[in-house]
Amino acid sequence: MYYCGAMRKTFTQKLFRWYSLYKRNLPWIGSNDPYKVWLSEVILQQTRVEQGLSYYQKFVKKYPDIQQLANAPHDEVMKMWEGLGYYSRARNMHSTAKQVVEELNSSFPDTYEGLIQLKGIGQYTAHAILSYAYKKPFAVVDGNVLRVMARYFGIREPIDTPKGKTLIQQHADSLLDKKEPDVFNQAMMDFGALICKPRQPDCENCPLQKSCAGYQQELTDILPVKSKKIKRQTRYLHFFVFRAGEKILVEQRIANDIWKNLYQFPVIETSKNVSSKSLMESEDYQAFRIKNPLPVITSPIFKQQLTHQQLICRFYIFDLKSIDKIKRSGVKQVTFTQLKQLAFPGVIRDFLKINDYF
């Protein structure tokens, strides 16, 4: 795909003029440190800047370089990430830090081929590191840029298909200012976040309005197009909070499922909502072999909405004389103080926040 020099120049001039006036003041902008660029990109994947900013600052303060992140205990990194969601990002981030330190002498590759060999780094993140840290001419296409390109060029191909993504990447590559790729990429992202917003784009103040196909054809409300509809599964999780004195039982999720490596209370999952009586009569519950068969407290329902799943959760609190005989694979005893150092999924954090029992 090719655009004449005049078109590229006009587009870039208008974009850069707008960016010089309205760019967001973000701490990673202008950094040529590939570690900080990479860290910011990992945190901002599927996360709003407003939420990710505090996490970025926290991580940079705790782990100012990749060696310190690589050497950090895994549970500590997961606790630092707690609340950001999509925890595979944190696991991949920690693995990549170790790989860069141990195999690459603590230096990120400066080639696309080298970067995509690292865990959790795909085309988007590789392009970001190459353009921001190394000033190489790679166009970065995130959700904001997908939206800007789809509207500006009137692209009706769904952006969640390989064909649609390839088409938009080609448009972005062709428009890229090769002398200042880092400035161009950040300007495009800020423009999408502040002007060409998902809902109610600020077309009246858009410097690209006259040449925008989406605006001229009154398509801004329907572009970009997506083909896939999210199908959500409902899961019912029953958490058993077994406490004795100042000790409590927890377990770590290790399966390839939601919340991998996070902690939880021992759980029984059912395919539908069941009564407390039916739950207590189940084989899974009987396997706990507790002498006091009924909970002291049964919580109200807690819900958590994930991308493809809705979680319906309830907590059953038991005050026992001893929890030593509750044997279940992976379960361990911790103190209430230790409990606060562990990373939990959001629904359990919500439960702990409003419960003075601990």
Q: How far apart are CA 82 and CA 89, in angstroms?
A: 12
Query: Please, which pLDDT band fits residue 202 given cuts at 50, 70 and 90?
Result: very high
Is 80 exceeded by the pLDDT of residue 10?
A: yes
Amino acid at 323: I
How far is Cα of residue 300 from the mean position of the Cα atoms in its chain?
28
**Which position among 41, 246, 269, 283 bears the catalytic label?**
41
Is 80 exceeded by the pLDDT of residue 355?
A: no
User: Is 41 an annotated catalytic residue?
Assistant: yes
Q: How far apart are CA 326 and CA 1, in angstroms?
A: 65
pLDDT at 308: 87
Is 90 exceeded by the pLDDT of residue 47?
A: no
- Express each pLDDT in 233-276 by its tens digit: 999 999 999 999 999 999 999 988 999 999 999 999 998 999 88
Is 90 exceeded by the pLDDT of residue 356?
A: no
Report how far apart, in Å, the C-alpha atoms of 21 and of each of 15, 17, 238 are.
10, 7, 52
DSSP-derived pairing of the beta strands 331-335 and 309-319: unpaired
**Type and span of the H or E element at 292:** none
Q: What is the DSSP string of 87-140?
A: THHHHHHHHHHHHHHHHSTT---SSHHHHTTSTT--HHHHHHHHHHTT------
pLDDT at 110: 96
pLDDT at 20: 96
Is 70 exceeded by the pLDDT of residue 16?
A: yes
pLDDT at 342: 95
Mean pLDDT confidence for 116-143: 95
- The CATH number given to 5-216 is 1.10.340.30
Domain ranges in the chain are 5-216, 233-353
Mean pLDDT confidence for 291-307: 84
Q: How many CB atoms lie within 10 A of CB 180?
A: 16
Contact 333/323 with Cβ under 8 angstroms?
yes
Name residue, tokens 């958590």. Answer: 304
Amino acid at 281: E
Q: How far apart are CA 212 and CA 209, in angstroms?
A: 5
Give every CB contact of residue 90 below 8 A, 6+ residues apart in sequence.
77, 78, 80, 81, 84
Fold classification of 233-353 is Nucleoside Triphosphate Pyrophosphohydrolase (3.90.79)
